[in-house]
Structure 1
Amino acid sequence: MEIDEPGAAAPDAASGGAASSPASGAAPTTEPASETSGGAASSEGSSAAPPAAAPVAPAAASAPAAAAVATVPDRGPRSQILSPLVRRLAKEHDLDLAQIPGTGSGGRITKADVMAVISSGEARATAGAAAPTIAPAQPMPAPSAGIGDEVVSVSHIRRAIAEHMLASTQGTARAWTMVEVNVDHLVKLRERVKDAFQERYGIKITYLPMVVRATVDALLEYPDVNARLDGENIVRHRFVNMGIAVSYDAGLIVPVVKGADGMNTIGVARSIADLAARARAHQLQPDEVQGATFTITNPGPYGSVASVPIINQPNVGILSFDAIVKRPVVIDDAIAIRSMVNISMSWDHRVIDGELATRFLARVKQNLESWDFAEDLGA
C-alpha cells in the first residue's frame, strides 16, 4: 500500500525501549577462616590391671568442670531452638533476642524471659538499642557502553516526544477498541483512479484521505469524541482539526489539517500531502502542529495489523488505520476473499465510555464500507 504520510503515534506495541544490561562484576571472594585442627588423643588400656583408686581421681576432678560448663549460657546456637511462641512475641514487640538473657536450659530464652522484658518496660529500650543503622540505598551505576556500542545523545525532539507520551499515559484512563472493515471496493477504486489522480493533482491518492473523511463524519455525529477535558468540564469542539501522525528523520510529529470538516476528499489529500512533505523538510510552522481536536495514525504501510496508539493529549481519542490484507471472510454464508483492515481507537475513559467508542467506530466502519468515493475523487 502506497502512502505519503506514514506515521505512528507511538503505539505501545512498537514503542519498546532498549533494555540496559547491568555490568557484570566478579563476586568478591572471601577467604575461608582458618580452622585449628585439634587431634583426638587415643588411649589404649595396658594389659596390667590399674590400681583401684586410679580412675576415681580423674572422675572427681572432672565433675566441677562439667558443672561449670552447665552454668555458662550458650549464646550462639540457642537461637536455633527458640519456640515459635518466643519468636512471635519478640517480633510483635520488636525485641532483639540477642539482648535478652535466657534462663532456660543451656541459656535458652523462654516465654517468661520475653514477658519479663515486656512487662518491665524495657522493650522499647531493647528495640531501640538493637536497631541497626541502615545505610541509604545507593543508585546502581549506569552501565558503561560496551565495545562496539554507539552512544547517541537524545535530541531535543526525541526528549519532547518522550515527555509528551509519558504525560499522556500517566494522565489518561486509556482504553482500546477495534473493528474490522471490508475495504475491498476502496482498493479497487484506488487502483482504478490512482494514475489519473496523480497526473491531474500532482499527488498520490492514498487511503488516508478517505479514512479522514469517514472519521470527520463520525466525529460530527458523536461530539464527545471530538472533545477535550478541561477540569470539571468537557469541551465539545464545533469544528474538526484533524491531527495526522507523520514519521520523519527526527522522530514523530503531528501536523494538523485545520477545518477538515469543511473539506472534500481531494482537499484533505492535498492538505495531508503538503503537511507531510514540509514536516519531513523541517519547514512546518509552530501553529501547524497545534490545535488538533482528534488524531489519526497510519502504521499500515509498515505491516502493522493491530496497534494501540497513545492518545495525543488534550484529545480524548486517537484512531489507528492498519495494514490492508486479503483474508477469507464469510459473506452471505459463503467464504470469500476480501481486502480487510483493522481500525482501532485508543480513548480516554474519563470522557468516553465503551458504548460510545463502539458506536463511533461502527460509524467509521459503515462510512468506509458504504460510501462511494468515486465522484468525490473526480473519477
Structure 2
Amino acid sequence: MSNKERFLSTQEFKMPKMGESITEGTIINWLVDEGQSFEEGDILLEVATDKVDNEVPAPASGRLISQKYGPKEVVPVGEVIAVLELQDGVAPKKAAKKSSEVNKKDPKISQLTPNSKQKSTAKQTAFKVNENVFVSPLIDSIARQHHISYEELARIPGTGKDGRLRKTDLMNYISEGRPYKFAQAVVTPSGFQVPDLKFDKGTGKIIEMDRMRQMISDHMVFSATTAPHVTAYVEADLTEMVQWRNENKVTFQNKYNQKLTFTPLFIEAVAKAIKDFPMINSSLDGTNIIVKDEINIGMATALPSGNLIVPVVKNADTLNLKSLAEATNDLVGKARDNKLKGDETKGSTFTISNVGTFGSVMGTPIINQPEAAILATGIIKKRAEVMERAEGDSIEIRHMMYLSLSFDHRIVDGFLAGSFLRRIADYLENFDTKRKI
C-alpha cells in the first residue's frame, strides 16, 4: 500500500448549515468536477440561501469522487451532496464555519427570470384568463416563494379537473421562464384590450441584469402589484436634534469608538412610534393580520454595485443609542464589503429608506414585502421658517426634513398611517437636548 493510499479516506460531504434559520440551500454551481483534485481551502461549490451566496471550501486536500446534486437543486441542510477522498481522514463537518459569504439575490428568483441568453420555449404572446383557477395551499406556497401574484396564476392554463391549476402546471410554467408574466389578455371583441404599443426602446449598450438586480426587480413588481400602496407625508423640524448631534458626535466617537450618524436616531424614534401603534408592525396572511412580537428595523443600504440590500437591526426597541450605533455601523460596513450573513438580512418587520443620503427631498418607497409599511427620510435641509414664539412670530433658519410613509391599504388605514407618521415626527422634533451620551 502506497503512502498516498494510507493517508486518504473517503468521506461524505454534507450540505453545511449557513445560518440559524437556514434549513436548505440551492446549489449554484460546482467549481470542482468529479475526479478533480483540490487543495485545502479551495472552493468546492457555491450555495445560495436568501439574498446570500456562500462559498463552501474544502476541509482538506483530496479529490472529488462524485456529486449527488447538481446546479439549481435545493438541498436540505445535513444532506449528503458529494463524496470526497480526503487526506489524513479529515471529516468535512466544519466546512460551514469557513464559508465566506457574498451578498447576492435570492437564487430561487434568479431561476425564474430568464436573461438575454435564456429564451422561453413558449411562443404565445397572449394568455387566456383561467376563470376557474383554484389556488391550493401547495400552489399558494410555491407562488409566494417565487413572487408570482394571483393575477399571474390566473394566466396559467390548468390541466386539472375543471381547469384547476396543478403543481406540474406551475412548475412547467416556471421552467419555461414565466412566458405570461407580462403578456396581454385575450378578450372578447366587446371587451377592452390593452393595445400593443410596441415602444421604441432605442439602441445602445446592453447591460445584462445581475442576479441581485433581477431579485430586486421581481420583489418590487410583486410588491407594487400585490399591495395597494398609499403614501402619506409630514415635515419635521430637526433643528434641536441636529445641533445635539453636532455637539456630541466627537465625544460619542471617543467614548464608544463609533460614529454617531442620524440612522440610529431615526431607528430609535421609529421603534418608539411602533410601540405606540403596533398594528403598523404587521403582515397580511390571507385574511389574517399578523401583528409581530418583535420590532426588527430594516435599513435599505446601497451596495458598491449600485444594488440595494436591507440589513436588519433586530429588537431595535430594546437597544440604547450606543447599541443602535454599533449595530447600524456594523451592518452598513458589512454591506459595503459584501460580508453580510443570511440571518442579518432576514426578519425585518418595518423598513427605513434614507433617500436623503442621495440628496432627495422626499420619496415614495415601495413596501418591503411582507411588511405593512415603509418609511422614507429625505435630506435634512436648512430653510427659513416662520416660528411662533410667545413674544411673536419670527423667521428663523431651521433644519427641516420630509418623511413619507408608504403603507399597504389592505392592512393600514389613513388614520393609523397618519397618526404613526406624525408620532415619528414628534419624537424627532421633541428631542431631548439635555440627553447624556
TM-score, normalised to structure 1, is 0.60
Amino acid at match of 1:284: L
Confirm or deny: 8 A CA contact 2:239 2:398 kept in the other structure: yes
Which residue number corresponds to residue 295 of structure 1?
351
Unaligned stretches of 5+ in structure 2?
A: 1-194
Partner residue, 1:240: 295
- Whole-Å Cα distance in 2 between the matches of residues 313 and 375 of structure 1? 36
Q: 1:33-182 alignment to 2 at 5 Å?
A: 145=203, 149-182=204-237
- SS of equivalent to 1:359: helix
SS at match of 1:175: strand
- Deviations 1:216-269 (CA, angstroms, capped at 9, x unpaired): 011011111011011111111121000000001230000110111110122111
In the TM superposition, residue 281 of structure 1 has moved relative to its aligned partner by 1.1
SS where residue 344 of structure 2 aligns?
A: helix
| Residue 235 (structure 2) pairs with residue 192 (structure 1) | no
Residues 365 and 376 of structure 2 are in contact (CA less than 8 Å); yes or no, is this contact kept in structure 1? yes
From 344, 355, 368, the equivalent of 1:312 is 368
Shift of 1:153: 1.6
CA distance in structure 2 between the aligned counterparts of 1:213 and 1:313, rounded to whole angstroms: 22
In 2 relative to 1, CA 358–151 (structure 1 residues): closer, same or farther, beyond 3 Å? Answer: same
Output the CA distance in 1 between the equivalents of 2:196 and 2:217: 26
Report SS of the residue matched to 1:179: strand
Distance in 1, matches of 2:433 and 2:335, equals 27
Quick check: 1:357 aligned with 2:414? no
1:187 CA displacement: 1.1
1:267 lines up with 2:323 in the alignment: yes
Task: Name the SS of the counterpart of 1:224 in structure 2.
Answer: helix
What is the rounded CA distance, in whole Å, between the counterparts of 1:263 and 1:374 in structure 2? 20
Change (3 A) 1:318 1:138: closer
- Alignment partner, residue 34 of structure 1: none
> What is the CA distance between 1:357 and its match in structure 2?
0.7
Partner amino acid, structure 1, of 2:213: R
More helix by share: 1
Which SS does the other structure have where 1:153 is aligned?
A: coil
Q: Distance in 1 between matches of 2:376 and 2:199?
A: 39
Aligned partner of 1:264: which letter? N
Query: Pick from 279, 298, 303: which aligns with 1:224?
Result: 279
d(CA) in 2 for partners of 1:208 and 1:279? 15
Amino acid in the other structure paired with 2:406:
S
Q: Which runs of 5+ in 1 are unaligned?
A: 1-136
In structure 1, the residue matched to 2:74 is none
In 2, Cα distance between the equivalents of 1:260 and 1:361? Answer: 18
Following TM superposition, by how much is the alpha carbon of 1:336 offset from its aligned partner in structure 2, in angstroms? Answer: 1.7
Partner of residue 258, structure 1 = 314
1:338 alignment partner AA: R
Give how far 1:202 is off.
2.5
Aligned alpha-carbon RMSD (Å): 2.0
**Residues in 1 aligned to 2:210 and 2:257: alpha-carbon distance in whole angstroms:** 34
Equivalent of 1:212, from 252, 267, 277? 267
> Partner of 1:278 in structure 2?
334
User: Match for 2:408 among 335, 339, 348?
Assistant: 348
8 Å Cα contact 2:282/2:372 also seen in 1: yes
The CA distance in 1 between the partners of 2:423 and 2:197, in whole Å, is 52
Aligned-pair CA distance for 1:201:
2.4
- How far apart are 1:291 and its partner, in Å? 0.7
Higher share in strand = 2
Of residues 173-182 and 203-212 in structure 1, the stretch that sits farther from structure 2 once superposed is 203-212
| Greater relative contact order, per chain length (Cα 8 Å cut-off, separation 6+) | 1
What is the rounded CA distance, in whole Å, between the counterparts of 1:325 and 1:144 in structure 2?
38
Q: Name the aligned partner's letter for residue 209 of structure 1.
A: P
Residue 373 to residue 214, structure 1, CA distance change in 2 (3 Å): farther
State the shift of 1:142 in Å: 8.5
1:275 to partner: Cα distance: 0.6
| CA displacement 1:292-315 (0-9 Å, x = unmatched) | 000001011221111101100101
Please report the TM-score for the alignment, with normalisation by the length of structure 2.
0.52
Query: What amino acid sits opposite 2:311 in the alignment?
Result: P
Note the C-alpha offset of 1:371: 2.8
Could you tell me the percent identity over the aligned residues? 37
Equivalent of 1:331, from 387, 397, 412?
387
Deviations 1:84-134 (A, max 9, x none): xxxxxxxxxxxxxxxxxxxxxxxxxxxxxxxxxxxxxxxxxxxxxxxxxxx
In structure 1, give the amino acid aligned to 2:413. Answer: D
Distance 2:321 2:282 in 1: 23
Counterparts of 2:434 and 2:223, CA distance in 1? 38
Amino acid corresponding to residue 366 of structure 2 in structure 1: I
The DSSP-based 3-state class of the residue aligned with 2:278 is coil
Residue of structure 2 equivalent to 1:11: none
Tell me which amino acid in the other structure corresponds to 2:315: G
Q: 1:349 to 1:143 in 2, by over 3 A?
A: closer
Q: Could you give the per-residue CA deviations for residues 57-94 of structure 1, whole angstroms, max 9, x where no partner exists?
A: xxxxxxxxxxxxxxxxxxxxxxxxxxxxxxxxxxxxxx
SS of the aligned residue for 2:212 comes to helix
Aligned pair in 2 of structure 1 residues 153, 188: CA closer, same or farther (>3 Å)?
A: same
